[in-house]
């Protein structure tokens, strides 16, 4: 079954180092808590708000061993007035036997406000 695994985080400033570090932290946590192997991943979409443009956040995924051939695409998030700034969001499409309820979606830093109903206290 193909399932979506969501994640989001925020950054403190629009710099390559900060963007890649925060995105890497988010991806690592998503992979860890859901036991994701690269061979099970169909694709990964990464969006960022318009104030995050110093680097493609997808570059962070290429730091993970075994993820070379996983299709990854970056895009700009819709600009909605008063929405969360400096935000990177991830949608990972994973082949898994887990039910939707068993999938752990990861929201870090200020992005926890996006889905407070899904925040895991242990993350």
Please list the active-site residues.
Answer: 6, 62, 74, 77, 89, 107, 115
| Contact in structure between 29 and 123 (CB atoms under 8 Å) | yes
Strand ranges (E), the chain:
2-10, 41-48, 72-76, 87-95, 106-107
């Amino acid at each position: 079954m193909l399932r979506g695994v969501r994640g989001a985080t925020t950054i403190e400033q629009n710099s390559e180092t900060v963007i890649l570090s925060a995105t890497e932290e988010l991806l690592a946590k998503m992979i860890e808590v859901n036991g994701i192997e690269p061979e099970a991943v169909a694709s990964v979409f990464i969006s960022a708000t318009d104030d995050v443009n110093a680097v493609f956040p997808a570059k962070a995924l290429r730091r993970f061993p075994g993820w070379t051939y996983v299709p990854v695409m970056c895009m700009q998030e819709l600009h909605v007035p008063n929405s969360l700034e400096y935000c990177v969001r991830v949608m990972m499409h994973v082949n898994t036997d887990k039910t939707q309820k068993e999938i752990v979606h990861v929201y870090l830093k200020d992005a926890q406000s996006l889905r407070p109903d899904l925040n895991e206290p242990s993350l």
